[in-house]
Amino acid sequence: MLKDEMFRLIEDWKNSGLSKLDFLKDKKITKDKFGYWLAKYNKQNKSKLPKEEKQDIPPIFKEITLPDVTVVRTINKVIELTTRSGLKITVFG
């Protein structure tokens, strides 16, 4: 079955320690096709990760702590965030 073959190939790559391109040099599969099957493999195996491995996955959101601003006489910029898409969020306090 193609799926089993591709998943075995992905596991071989993961165990090889090689980059994708180096691993695929002598294989009869394109980088794009390998990427397609890698996405399917990751999606299927994401829920099977042990709890400690799931913790290694970076969170989507990052907690930020604002400085304690208790007495402010003038309005100052406290923090400014710029997203990857260019959206700028400025907090004044």
- Sequence ranges of the domains in the chain: 2-54
Helices (H), the chain: 2-16, 20-24, 31-46, 51-54
What tokens appear for 83 in the block? Answer: 């997203």
% helix, strand, coil for the chain, step of 5: 45, 10, 45
pTM of the model: 0.49
Other C-beta atoms closer than 10 Å to the C-beta of 10 total 19
Distance CA 68, CA 58 (A): 27
**pLDDT tens readout for residues 41-93:** 988 887 665 555 555 566 677 788 877 766 656 778 889 999 998 899 998 87
